[in-house]
Amino acid sequence: MIRLLFWIALIAAAFWLWRKFKISQQAPRQHHLDDPLRMVRCAHCGVHLPNDRALQRASQWYCSQQHLEQGPARHS
């Protein structure tokens, strides 16, 4: 009787360890952002856009190459 209980406990422990190993081997399905995007304002026209799509010169951000070449807008 003790041998039977020993084998049942051994099989249960092996099954539990196998399941724990399989779960740890699965790739996580969560999507994480590495670096959150910031909204920046074009120095020429004032449009807001994500910083990954904007062009930067010094501390100024621009929405397009044309606005980058024209520089910051002059407000009177």
Question: And the tokens for 43?
Answer: 């120095």
Domain ranges for the chain:
39-70
Contact between 60 and 42 under an 8 Å Cβ cutoff? The reply is: no
Sequence-separated (6 or more) residues with CB below 8 Å from residue 76: none
pLDDT at 27: 60
How far, in Å, CA of 37 to CA of 23, rounded? Answer: 32
**35-60: pLDDT as tens digits:** 688 899 999 999 999 998 999 998 99
Whether the full predicted model's pTM is greater than 0.85, yes or no, is no
